[in-house]
């Protein structure tokens, strides 16, 4: 499957999230030029090719939580990757004031 221009813009924006920071689906949509179309970001991340270096794990929901998928294993992997980058979870949430990007 050839990625759409929209997906490429989203992937490029997600690639700009610094290590040790997170962003929300909505913030990525706005920064990539898609207004309030946060779901488009989710679709784009779901379509990432295997082996991609886009840091998908740095995108969380507006409540500071990992958006669990049906399988649940992706959420566990995402949590592990974020912890390795020094992010802290309190009651299952990441402090967006402290770790959020962009400010």
CATH number for the domain including 23? 1.10.10.10
- What pLDDT sits at residue 2? 67
Residue 71 lies in a domain: yes
- How far apart are the C-alpha atoms of 14 and 82, rounded to whole Å? 14
- How far apart are the C-alpha atoms of 70 and 68, rounded to whole Å? 7
Task: Give the number of other Cβ atoms within 10 Å of residue 66's Cβ.
Answer: 22
Q: Is-contact 76 88, C-beta < 8 A?
A: no
Please list the pLDDT of the chain residue by residue as tens digits (103 residues).
567 999 999 999 999 999 999 999 999 999 999 999 999 999 999 999 999 999 999 999 999 999 876 545 667 899 999 999 999 999 999 999 999 999 8
Residue 103 lies in a domain: no
Q: Which domain covers residue 59, as residue numbers?
A: 5-98
Residue 60 lies in a domain: yes
Residue 27 lies in a domain: yes
Residues 6+ apart with CB under 8 A from 77: 57
Q: In total, how many domains does the chain have?
A: 1
- What pLDDT sits at residue 84? 97
- What pLDDT sits at residue 3? 76
Residue 22 lies in a domain: yes
């Amino acid at each position: 499957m050839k990625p759409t221009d929209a997906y490429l813009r989203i992937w490029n924006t997600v690639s700009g999230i610094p290590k040790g920071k997170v962003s929300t689906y909505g913030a990525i949509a706005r920064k990539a030029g898609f207004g309030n179309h946060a779901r488009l970001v989710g679709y784009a991340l779901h379509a990432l090719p295997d082996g991609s270096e886009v840091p998908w794990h740095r995108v969380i929901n507006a409540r500071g939580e990992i958006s669990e998928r049906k399988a649940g294993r992706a959420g566990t992997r995402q949590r592990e990757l974020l912890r390795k980058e020094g992010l802290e979870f309190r009651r299952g949430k990441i402090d967006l004031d402290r770790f959020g990007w962009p400010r």
